């Protein structure tokens, strides 16, 4: 089925596969925003939900900011937020109620504010105040615009000395490298030669559990997001070594035949003890859970492996959607939820 291009075009009416294939281009985007108004930043807080918060997880893991960086997925801010805080309000739609509520609080406390959005109420407020605004190009789903958000964060933080110099250059170079990697996963590549299609076929019809180590967790988390939103397929995520301290035991009981698929992202860049935990855990859980589908990220650097894994898993999630007979792009239930919350 995944080699039937006519059927793919019918089910993928809004060309999610085309968007996924072009994500590398986002890494070269120049927002051209002046950040000279910010000074004396002692901590960073980003408020965002879903795909608008994920890039902060990515940046925190890879770029290692020089001051504390907290991600808030809530209506309220930590008590320490004040004039020394760089508050980043992140929402693709610009209408995310939790993020707008957090912005109210940040303004009231006198925080230094930057906004990342494609429009909506958030962009309107940023222009009216004015707050520093990074305008994300519109027309695609938030989860498919994550690299735009990542670039915006680096273009904001690197000039302020809050992430190491050279991170933006590294990001752009890695984008060019990624362009050459994705050619193996597109819809015209037959299943027998296409690892993304092969993994999708292993996952179909099951609830999916994704595991990684700390270095690859941003990619694992993104995979969970896209399986849920693209494929409309329930998925969860966790990471080693935390997995071994609780969830590990959960696999040891009945039923033996569990209706799950397990995906493990095993990077050679993880701590050596984390790498060993994957191997030992698989041995101890043999016969007690499904054998894991293992993804081994390609790339020499941490960033390359993160980008490779994220883009590969995006292809997989879209192929799972097509196997489910689902259009990958719309998230109608989310829109209904928003309407009902406002009633």
Give the tens place of pLDDT for each residue, 197-211.
999 999 999 999 999
Confidence band of 338 (pLDDT split at 50, 70, 90): confident
The residue-averaged pLDDT of 3-17 equals 94
Q: Note if 270 is an active site residue.
A: no
Q: From the candidates 6, 165, 192, 245, give the one annotated as an active-site residue.
A: 245
Question: Does residue 257 register a pLDDT over 80?
Answer: no
Confidence of residue 151 (pLDDT cuts 50, 70, 90): very high
Q: Is 338 a catalytic residue?
A: yes
Q: Give the span between the Cα atoms of 230 and 226, in whole angstroms.
A: 5
Query: What's the average model confidence in pLDDT over 159-174?
Result: 97
Contacts (Cβ under 8 Å, ≥6 apart) of 333: none
pLDDT band at 342 (very low <50, low <70, confident <90, very high): confident
Per the CB < 8 A criterion, the answer to whether 39 and 279 are in contact is: no
Q: List CB contacts of 302: < 8 A, sequence separation 6 or more.
A: 62, 215, 269
At CA 159, angle to CA 158 and CA 163, rounded to 5? 25
Type and span of the H or E element at 134: strand 132-135
Q: What is the mean pLDDT of the chain?
A: 96
Domains of the chain with CATH codes: 16-176 (3.40.50.10490), 183-323 (3.40.50.10490)
| Whether 232 is catalytic | no
Among residues 21, 229, 264, 270, the one annotated as catalytic is: 229
Q: Please tell me the distance from the alpha carbon of residue 312 to that of residue 200, in angstroms, as a whole number.
A: 11
- pLDDT tens digits, residue range 180-232? 999 999 999 999 999 999 999 999 999 999 999 999 999 999 999 999 999 99
State what percent of residues in the chain have pLDDT above 70.
100
Confidence of residue 60 (pLDDT cuts 50, 70, 90): very high
pTM: 0.95
Give the C-alpha separation, 122 to 89, whole Å. Answer: 8
Residue 114: predicted pLDDT: 98
């Amino acid at each position: 089925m995944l080699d039937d291009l006519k059927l793919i075009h019918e089910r993928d009416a809004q060309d999610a596969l085309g968007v996924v294939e072009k994500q590398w281009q986002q890494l070269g985007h120049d927002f051209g925003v002046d950040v000279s108004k910010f000074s004396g930043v002692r901590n960073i807080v980003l408020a965002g939900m879903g795909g608008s918060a994920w890039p902060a997880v990515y940046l925190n893991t890879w770029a290692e900011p020089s001051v504390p960086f907290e991600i808030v997925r809530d209506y309220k801010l930590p008590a320490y937020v004040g004039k020394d805080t760089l508050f980043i309000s992140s929402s693709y739609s610009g209408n995310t109620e939790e993020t707008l509520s957090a912005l109210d609080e940040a303004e009231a406390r006198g925080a230094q504010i930057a906004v990342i959005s494609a429009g909506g109420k958030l962009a309107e407020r940023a222009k009216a105040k004015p707050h520093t605004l990074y305008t994300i190009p519109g027309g695609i789903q938030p989860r498919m615009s994550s690299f735009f958000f990542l670039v915006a964060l680096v273009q904001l933080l690197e000039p302020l000395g809050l992430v190491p110099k050279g991170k933006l250059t590294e990001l752009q170079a890695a984008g060019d490298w990624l362009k050459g990697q994705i050619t193996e996963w597109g819809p015209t590549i037959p299943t027998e030669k296409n690892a993304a299609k092969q993994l999708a076929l292993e996952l179909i019809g099951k609830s999916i559990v994704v595991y990684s180590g700390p270095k690859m967790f941003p990619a694992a988390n993104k995979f969970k997001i896209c399986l849920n939103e693209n494929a409309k397929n329930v998925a969860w995520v966790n990471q080693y070594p935390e997995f071994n301290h609780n969830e590990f035991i959960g696999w040891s009981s009945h039923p033996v035949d569990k209706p799950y698929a397990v995906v493990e992202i095993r990077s050679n860049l993880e701590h050596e003890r984390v790498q060993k935990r994957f191997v030992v855990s698989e041995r101890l859980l043999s016969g007690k859970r499904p054998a894991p589908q293992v993804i081994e990220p390609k790339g020499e650097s941490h960033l390359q492996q993160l980008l490779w894994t994220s883009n590969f898993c995006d292809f997989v999630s879209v192929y799972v959607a097509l196997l489910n007979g689902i259009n990958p792009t719309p998230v109608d239930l989310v829109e209904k939820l928003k309407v009902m919350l406002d009633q």
